[in-house]
Amino acid sequence: MPDQEAADPPDQISVHGLRVVGIVGVLPEERVRAQPLQIDLDLYIDLTAAGMSDALADTVDYGAVCDSLNRTVETSQPELLERLAAQLATAVFAVDPRIEGLRISVAKLRPPVPHDLATSGVQITRRRPA
């Protein structure tokens, strides 16, 4: 992860701008109508083998990661984006044991507030649980 002491930072796979639709929010209208969300994800993983072999088997299949993210949003209906981000992180770690850590952002593309606001969101950074 970027703040590791004495170790080189790991390589990174980025998946940005994944658009999904899900139920998340505290307000009554958010509990009954799905809303558009955007997910940005950085995976921390050693890409040395993939760089040498050019083989998908030596890296993380980000298509599978996106499928997992989409499934999690579809089946989860949390009130808070913070909870959804934590659930998404857990789902991503389950995709591939080589993922060392991640940074994930989840944003509501139409926040339900009476202000001129493009998005509202959260970002979390996690290391693989021991």
CA 106 to the chain's CA centroid: 7
The one-letter amino acid code at 15 reads V
In degrees, rounded to 5, the angle at the alpha carbon of residue 3 between the alpha carbons of residues 11 and 19 is: 60
**Which one is catalytic: 108, 114, 115, 127?**
108
108 is catalytic: yes
Cβ 77 vs Cβ 88: under 8 Å: no
CA-wise closest residue to 87 among 37, 33, 14, 28: 37
Which letter does DSSP use for residue 40 in this model?
Answer: E
| Strand partners for 46 | none
**Residues marked as catalytic:** 108
